[in-house]
Amino acid sequence: MNRIKKGDQVIVTAGKDKGKKGDVVRVLGDKVVVSNINIVKRHTKPNPQANQPGGVVEREAPIHISNVMLFNPATGKGERIGFKVLEDGRKLRVFRSSGEAVDA
């Protein structure tokens, strides 16, 4: 079970976008793609078969998972994540500081 999942709201802790918040769009192993974070310009060639025009396209690039923290709306800060094993064997993500469950 990953500490960060698709749809989680995260805050960036390192890099050029430090301090910004966004939602996780995709998880790619040890990297995540966050909306409106780590925007890069990609120069693409036109592809008539895919009906794709050429030019400079801005898109989100992956950022390492260690450079983001899950955002806790109760405290307004990024917090570390731990796991709690329930009686029926399921794992539950919890915030380390308060122990409350992550609702995502």
Say if residue 22's pLDDT is above 60: yes
Say if residue 12's pLDDT is above 80: yes
Q: Which residues is 54 bridged to in the sheet?
A: none
pLDDT, residue 70, reads 96
Report all structural domains of the chain as residue ranges with CATH numbers, in order of start.
6-71 (2.30.30.30)
CA distances from 73 to 8, 10, 78 (A): 12, 10, 9
Interior/surface letters 3-30, b for 16+ CB within 10 angstroms, e for the rest: ebeeebbbbbeeeebeeebbebeebeee
| Average pLDDT estimate for 64-83 | 94
